[in-house]
Amino acid sequence: MFPQAIKVFSKTPTWFTVIIGIGLLIYQFFQVQLSQNVQIAFFVVLIMLTGIPHGALDHLIQQETDKKSNKKFSFWKFLIQYVVIMGVYAVLWFWFSGISLLIFLLISAWHFGETDLEKIPKNVLIWTATRLIYGFYVLAFILLTHTSEVSPIIEKMIENQPSALIFWNFVHSNFKQILYLLGLSLCTIFIVAQSEYLIKFDKIRFFRLCLILLISVGLPLLPAFALYFGGWHALCAFDNIHGYLSKDHPKLSFQLVYMKSMPFTFLAIIFLGLFLWYFNNFTQEVSPLPILFVFISLITLPHLIISHQMNHQTE
């Protein structure tokens, strides 16, 4: 029985995410609420185990993409381009935080949709739109079911953009209607897309995602975000990346792909540790969450570009 369970979790690790989420809900029920330390610990551990590592493979993805495109891969050129994209986006955040936040939401929604709906036909507009609306719904579901926690973060991120604050206040006040509208739009466009170009739909996979999202509603923002991002998105991305890298290398195991992410993962963990140490010791009166989410946006943009190239190759 036990070996069979191990086999199930190794093939579909998102079932383990569901169990972890249920465990958190049970723990929270008996503890009344999750302490701030427990929330941060869960967030950091899950991000370190899966969230950061799935992005730490970007250099290998770019190398494989260049190989398939008959281009010469240069690690230093890759690294410089990566940092330059982050730097330009950081400047944009400094001067135009409202626009930068909108870009972050757009690229996050697209990235979530592209990762989850990876096996769709090329250049079919209806499925491209489905990806975007799907990603927006998932992102909105997580954020808008935690508006009391999200609002202070958003307001701090765009405090110098009055028009953006007005728009967020509108979203905050009408979040239920927005979620209903997005959900209805997603169902409608998915049905239309399936009728025009039928693709295989994994109902059990969708069921696991629904469970994770439903569990996230009962959790505070940090563990809810970590549960989806680290326990679903990153694991799905790992599966896509392994399939992409192993296409021409059949003996490349999932474990080896994960190990190849470790050098950049450890580097990112060091920076994350220094970040948390600095805020814990010197700026306790300032919430680190707005800056943390800005940093996530900076590394998301180049990661999305590389992932999009990978997905375009595999579609």
Average pLDDT for the chain: 84
On the question of pLDDT at 300 being above 70, the answer is yes
Mean pLDDT of 187-212: 88
- Give residue limits of the domains in the chain: 2-314
pTM, rounded to two decimals? 0.87
- The reported pLDDT for the residue numbered 1 is 42
Q: Are 140 and 151 in contact (CB under 8 A)?
A: no
Mean pLDDT of 172-181: 91
Rounded percentage of the chain residues whose pLDDT exceeds 90 = 28
- The reported pLDDT for the residue numbered 20 is 93
Sign of CA dihedral 25, 28, 30, 32: negative
- The reported pLDDT for the residue numbered 169 is 86
CA distance 231 to 47: 9
- The reported pLDDT for the residue numbered 6 is 43
- The reported pLDDT for the residue numbered 198 is 81
- The reported pLDDT for the residue numbered 279 is 66
pLDDT tens-digit readout, 213-237: 999 999 999 999 999 999 999 998 8
- The reported pLDDT for the residue numbered 313 is 63
Residue 292 gets the label, from left (phi > 0), alpha (psi -120 to 50) or beta, of: alpha
pLDDT tier for residue 114 given thresholds of 50, 70 and 90: confident
Crossing angle between the packed helical segments 75-95 and 289-314, to the nearest 10 degrees: 130
Secondary structure class of 146 (helix, strand, coil)? coil
pLDDT tens-digit readout, 64-77: 888 888 888 888 99
Q: Are 214 and 207 in contact (CB under 8 A)?
A: no
Mean pLDDT of 101-115: 90
Which of the pair, 248 or 192, is modelled with greater confidence? 192
DSSP at 197: S
pLDDT tens-digit readout, 124-137: 889 889 999 999 99
CA distance 63 to 19: 36
**Full DSSP string of 260-274:** HTHHHHHHHHHHHHH
H or E element that contains 179: helix 175-196
Secondary structure class of 180 (helix, strand, coil)? helix
